Structure 1
Amino acid sequence: MAHDGAEQWLLELAQAHRLSPAQRQIVQRMLGMFPDVAFLSTIEIAERTGVSQPTVTRLATALGFAGFPEFRAALRDAVLAGIPNQRGHHRQDAGLAAIDQERANLESLKRVVAGDPMDRAVRLLAGPGPLGVVGLRASAALACYFGYFARRVLPAVSVCTDAGGIDDAVLQLSQQGAGALLAFAMPRYPAGTVAAVRLARTLGLATVVIADTALVPFAVDADVLLVAPVGTGLVFDSHAAVVTLAISLLDAIAKTDPHRTQQRLEAHEALVDRWVHHD
């Protein structure tokens, strides 16, 4: 259909900007309203998508337009021009587009994993003291995932995902002789995470931060900043590249002491029969 290219245009436009989950949901609903959506008012779009009129207006500015009239004009141009689908088939499902974006995100990790910042991060995190890992809100699952596997190869790993106790956790790490703190900081960046990183540096800990862009406003607070883009094509961010970077980092840390790593993995393997299910 002629408006397939316009749908693709809107989808790619949304992926190119940082939208809130609510704004992404509006875009997804708009994708099912072509071609009529290009000729509707803010009130009509708001009614059909179940949001307020100001929310629709804010979406237009979030997409880089001066206001809704400019956004609607661009939308109409896309519909009327019948922009061809660059991939040669009907409108992509949002999930398929998200997979394409994650492939690109993973490809970008090659430079990160092979770069000097990765080497510095490994040296800092592989030190002899306890390793602290923090992640709040959306980053909590990432911190827990890293910590779960890190405990199998490192002698002392402390994970904090509680904003209320994060200052105490960082202070305790310092008192226990930790040399570094690893922080996951995905959008929207929790103030508690930034405060914890700054406190860690004040206490003499090195800080390694994994974030979605090198342009985070707290980049100066990280001794090493590792960038793993997030997928933004769905209602909520997807973290395929972040997880891959995190496990690549842990793999490199484990290889700094192969003998210790092998011993600890064998000790863990001896316990597997205690918890794994057998038919």
Structure 2
Amino acid sequence: MGERLDDDRAQEWLLSRAQRHRLSPTQRQIVQRMLGMFPDVAFLSTIEIAEQTGVSQPTVTRLATALGFAGFPEFRTAMREAVLASVPDQRVPASEKQDAIDQEQANVGTLKRVVSGAPMTAAVTALSGSDPLGVVGLRASAALADYFGYFARRVLPSVRVCTDGASLDDDLLQLRHQGASAALFFSMPRYPSGTVAAIRLARRLGMTTVVIADTALLPFADDVDALLVAPVGTGLVFDSHAAGVVLAITLLDAVAAVHPQRTQQRLEAHESLVDRWTHDT
């Protein structure tokens, strides 16, 4: 494994700690920024962390207490132990591209916990019961929404993919008027303000909000009914959403399994048309 994966294990320690405690939105944002500062963050002072995360020194100190530590020194000691425990005895040289692939393998591996958790069960129940089903993704997340929607149309009665921020409010209102009880949102960094506003609007309209995002520490997590986390690969010039794709198609598989007879009938109807658009070589 490369250095990036070793840092990921220390990051997972901090993320796990944060998820076990009730943090304020500001505290969640600090943790989110700290996750990208490993391993250096484990050796910084409160002043240095405050400067690099854009908050005050007392705010950093309060975060340590909120995470269950007696104070910042104890928190920093625990972070250092997590970092040092992640350092292997020998390092295998690897290129940046190899590191990126290693990171993606680790990201996909985290989905085992996601798909067996309570939020996944809640998401499947909500999405399988919505007709029509709205699927939302703006900017970088639009591709994920289109991917999910492309296959969802094979097995669900009515699917509407919304990737235009300018018409998103109208789309959600129309979906609700047509009977939609839930909507699926893809929200990857950087989080578009239009996506956050749409999630809140869907909530106000009485729709269950299911969100696939890169972290559990979303600044708008309180507006989400079921949050499914698919970590983003950051080892290349552009973020990789490989884990998001795997999670999306796994979620769709679970939704389709709720009504197996309907799913089978729709898949057979689709297969009957395949000869019209495939080209034999």
- Compute the TM-score of the two structures, normalised by the length of structure 1: 0.71
Q: For 1:200 and 1:190, locate their aligned partners in 2 and report how far apart those are by CA, in whole Å.
A: 16
Q: For 2:4 and 2:264, locate their aligned partners in 1 and report how far apart those are by CA, in whole Å.
A: 50
Q: Please list the CA deviations of residues 68-92 of structure 1 after superposition, one character each: whole Å capped at 9, or x if unmatched.
A: xxxxxxxxxxxxxxx9993334xx2
Larger-Rg structure: 1
- 2:242 aligns with 240
Please, which of 62, 83, 90 is the counterpart of residue 86 of structure 1? 90
Please, which of 116, 130, 133 is the counterpart of residue 131 of structure 1? 133
Q: For 2:146 and 2:265, locate their aligned partners in 1 and report how far apart those are by CA, in whole Å.
A: 23
1:155 aligns with 2:142: no
Q: Which amino acid aligns with 1:186?
A: M
- Given that 1:133 and 1:159 are in contact with CA atoms closer than 8 Å, whether structure 2 keeps it comes out as yes
1:143 aligns with 2:145: yes
Q: For 2:152 and 2:120, locate their aligned partners in 1 and report how far apart those are by CA, in whole Å.
A: 17
**What are structure 1's unaligned runs of at least 5 residues?**
1-7, 18-58, 68-82
- 1:212 aligns with 214
SS at match of 2:215: coil
Q: For 2:205 and 2:267, locate their aligned partners in 1 and report how far apart those are by CA, in whole Å.
A: 32
Q: Please list the CA deviations of residues 191-239 of structure 1 after superposition, one character each: whole Å capped at 9, or x if unmatched.
A: 0000001000101111000110000101111111111111111111111
Compared with structure 1, are the counterparts of its residues 233 and 172 closer, same or farther at alpha carbon in structure 2 (3 Å cutoff)? same
* Residue 240 of structure 1: how far off its partner (Å): 1.1
SS at match of 1:158: strand
* Residue 128 of structure 1: how far off its partner (Å): 4.6
- Given that 2:130 and 2:182 are in contact with CA atoms closer than 8 Å, whether structure 1 keeps it comes out as no
SS at match of 2:92: coil
- Given that 2:202 and 2:208 are in contact with CA atoms closer than 8 Å, whether structure 1 keeps it comes out as yes
- Compute the TM-score of the two structures, normalised by the length of structure 2: 0.70
SS at match of 2:212: strand
Q: For 2:7 and 2:246, locate their aligned partners in 1 and report how far apart those are by CA, in whole Å.
A: 26
- Given that 2:5 and 2:102 are in contact with CA atoms closer than 8 Å, whether structure 1 keeps it comes out as no
- 2:229 aligns with 227
Compared with structure 1, are the counterparts of its residues 256 and 10 closer, same or farther at alpha carbon in structure 2 (3 Å cutoff)? closer
- Given that 1:15 and 1:233 are in contact with CA atoms closer than 8 Å, whether structure 2 keeps it comes out as no
Please, which of 169, 172, 175 is the counterpart of residue 170 of structure 1? 172
Matched pairs, number: 214
Q: For 1:84 and 1:163, locate their aligned partners in 2 and report how far apart those are by CA, in whole Å.
A: 46
1:117 aligns with 2:114: no
- 1:71 aligns with none
* Residue 60 of structure 1: how far off its partner (Å): 9.3
- Given that 2:4 and 2:103 are in contact with CA atoms closer than 8 Å, whether structure 1 keeps it comes out as no
**What are structure 2's unaligned runs of at least 5 residues?**
12-35, 50-86
- Given that 1:151 and 1:157 are in contact with CA atoms closer than 8 Å, whether structure 2 keeps it comes out as yes
Aligned sequence identity (%):
65
Q: For 2:4 and 2:225, locate their aligned partners in 1 and report how far apart those are by CA, in whole Å.
A: 38
